[in-house]
Amino acid sequence: MQNKILFGAAYYDEYMPYDRIETDFKMMKSAGMNTVRIAESTWSTLEPQEGEFDFTHIERMLSNAERFGIGVIVGTPTYAVPTWLVRKHPGVLAVTSCGRNLYGPRQNMDITDKNYLFYAERVIRKLMEYVSKRPCVIGYQIDNETKYYDTSGPEVQSSFIEYIKAKFPDIGDFNREFGLDYWSNRINSWEDFPDVRGTINGSLRAEFHKFRRGLVTDFFNWQIGIADEYRRPEQFITHNFDYSWNGFSHGMQSDVNQFRASERFTVAGTDIYHPSAGSLTGEEIAFGGALMRNLKPEVRNYLVLETQAQGNPGWLPYKGQLRLQAYSHIASGANSVMYWHWHSIHNAIESYWKGVLSHNLKENETYREACVIGRELEAIGGRIANLRKSPDIAVMVNNESLTGLSEFPIDKSCGYNDIVLWICGALYRLNAEYDVIPQESDAERLSKYKMIIAPAMYSATEESLSRLKAYVHEGGHLVMTFKSAFCDEYLKIYHDDQPHMLTECFGMTYDRFTDGKNVRLAATSFRADGTDVKYFTELLQPSSAKVLARYDTDAYGECAAVTANSYGAGRAVYIGCFFERDALMRLLKAECPEAGISLPDTSYPIVLRTGTNGFGNNIAYYMNYSGSTQSFTAQYGGTDILTGKKLSKGDSLTLEPWDLVIIEA
């Protein structure tokens, strides 16, 4: 457990236009910053030529960190390769679906290439030998936002064939499972296995993605094994997991199975970026926390290793937003808030991805607000670190469904992550806190939640469906959406009634669906009459289920859009289409009492986050996510730990724009 919140930024002496390292460390110390991240992208500086190592900048940063009492997270510099390595071994550049990569961008290498791994291990070991015994080094970050980078070269494909052979010793079973008779794609000899980059078979391509996600896990475990040889017991090993990207962090990352990849890290870490200014909602922060704290359930807390200070153009925070964002991370279970990066840089592709300091490297409004955060965290950090959260609701996800709905998309504007975030955004605005858990979760883990929501669980194993069915029968509350329980783990569509194995549980079935254009809801129990269907329409045929919503068109007869069914001691709700979020919020708000879940009286733009701190005391964060003053009634009594003011349950509270109050019971 940590005794404080780590607060700081990435710092690169190598990038500075002139020598100002002492000035920067003084400014960071004055801002209450206690941690810096270094080294992760500087291989060409650390090893300017093969076998020649230069730790000048590392030493400058470490010695100043020790002088100013600032902790250091050292990143392994393996996500951007030096020019000399590419000249000597061009094969380190990955062969992708577009051919051989050219030098220039980061993460252009083949993470399985033997030459890349040889030289990467050498620079990691040299760096570890230099830094591991320094008292200021508190932990290590393995690589950076690692993915498989579409590596598809001959060695990768050969390994993929061996992976398939191990799963399907009988090549006939492989052909049947993947439906390769279609368009004469059948493979009758392993030696005839074609280049997977050309396949038109979605199942085979999805399995290639799954295999390459495993390569990322292997790559992590290889680096962790090296770092473990050097790290002291008190030093952590982490990684900055990222998300899908839609101009900002957007749902699950498709190219890493983060639940499996995180197993050998001592603590999970993440990079979360989001819209700001007039578009700030906090939804991305909440989703990131709900996922990250469940990568390692035994640890629960996680590290925010990168988030924005000024960030991209359009992200410049309004007054108060930087502070609100910092506490939102902590209220989700984060034990750190660190900015990318300290200083705005003066060259290269991220010149306008602005840091805490602008290009003139002087104090500014962002820096001054960071000082406010730092001073507060110095005072109260021990009381808000190590927050434990126990939501009643879990959102179930899996990479296979994400891949499957990329192979067979519902609509170009409605992918898997859009459906997941449709659900999560509605929960967030109701102040219904949730965890994000994997489909593989066992029965014991499922039993901890009063409600489980499975959005678009397109690819579903029979084992997972059996667990969900038993969960409902034993008293659980399951909500599932369209495009769920549709195909197996290889994207082979089940050939019985949909949803597979769950028709009795949901008390309905369907065998027709369409795009949902020009369709509205009618006759609903959750005040959604006249609500537009935005995407997809499954025409549900109830048997024992109660109809919560129908479609408003005679063309589809009496088919239902949303149903609810009692099954055993539990309840199962099926949502057959994607409709407006306000209506979804009303549906979920109506279902929560059915599951025995009490929702707070307050809702967005007042965001309420709760948990238990390291001392066993209840903590409640009330945060105003709006540009106007908000008044509400406190549901919790205690002490405002920012001001020391005593509060009672039922007190009327007022928050200024983008402000917050933290109550410790």
pLDDT of res. 300: 86
Q: Could you read off the pLDDT of 452-495 as tens digits, one per residue?
A: 999 999 999 999 999 999 999 999 999 999 999 999 999 999 99
Query: Mean pLDDT over residues 268-280, rounded?
Result: 97
* Angle, helix 56-68 to helix 21-30, in steps of 10 degrees: 30
Task: In whole angstroms, give the CA distance from residue 96 to residue 536.
Answer: 33
497: exposed, middle or buried (C-beta count within 10 Å: 0-12, 13-18, 19+)?
middle
pLDDT of res. 218: 98
Q: Could you read off the pLDDT of 580-596 as tens digits, one per residue?
A: 999 999 999 999 999 99
Helix (H, G, I), strand (E, B) or coil at 533: strand
Across 309-440, where does the E strand assignment appear? Answer: 334-340, 393-397, 434-438
Question: Could you give phi then psi for residue 91, rounded to 5 degrees?
Answer: -70, -10
Question: Which segments of 448-594 does DSSP mark as H helices, in order?
Answer: 462-473, 503-506, 581-594
Confidence band for 388, pLDDT divided at 50, 70 and 90: very high
Across all residues in the chain, what is the average pLDDT?
97
Helix (H, G, I), strand (E, B) or coil at 28: helix
Question: Which segments of 454-536 does DSSP mark as H helices, in order?
Answer: 462-473, 503-506
Confidence band for 316, pLDDT divided at 50, 70 and 90: very high
Beta bridge partners of 510: 498
**What is the arrangement of strands in the sheet containing 240-241, beginning at the earlier edge strand?**
236-238, 137-141, 71-75, 35-38, 6-10, 334-340, 302-308, 268-272, 240-241
| DSSP codes joined into one string, 99-159 | EEPPSSSSS-B-TT-HHHHHHHHHHHHHHHHHHTT-TTEEEEE-SSS---TT---HHHHHH
pLDDT of res. 557: 74
**Two structure tokens written together for 229:** 């040889």
Helix count and strand count (H, E) for the chain: 18, 31
